[in-house]
Structure 1
């Protein structure tokens, strides 16, 4: 078990240069984010996703025992904002790596905040 000095780590990630079709597929995003949570060692409680219309962006959240993962996408800008907050033994960096592989952004900017 990994022990951290703070109760949780909150990763805020900006993915730029993502293929627009990847940012509109609500079912694929939910599956990828659920798999990312599991890859990080988190327990999924529920998920809620919404697509804003044909060709439009998606907003979604995976609720975890350890906190949450959320995404907001703007396919017209090839941009996604991700929020990955996990506490305990879960490793949010593994979720980020999983999603980076799945969405293949051209660039990534991550801010990490120690919570608690």
Structure 2
């Protein structure tokens, strides 16, 4: 259950952070307006809280592992929201990052 909870929290953090950054991008770069930016700022603030609920008590470990989730989530967001098509190097990079997440966050420790 702890693993499932941790993974769910990583997904929620990614949606909040990547979604928030995307909303700010849309508001500023795509001239969609201040409400988009405000929504993005609120989502980015929510991201900051979600990470605190991770079962592991070590800030550095949680944020380091989350970095790999962020990389994978960012590419996936681009595919879904912007029609981005990752190439094989993008996919290899994501695989390396997710392997890093598994090692950093879920390796057995004694």
Shorter chain as denominator, the TM-score bin is under 0.3
TM-score scaled by structure 1?
A: 0.25
The structure, 1 or 2, with the larger RCO (C-alpha pairs under 8 Å, 6+ apart) is 1
TM-score scaled by structure 2?
A: 0.26
Q: Highest Rg: 1 or 2?
A: 2
Which protein is richer in strand relative to its size? 1
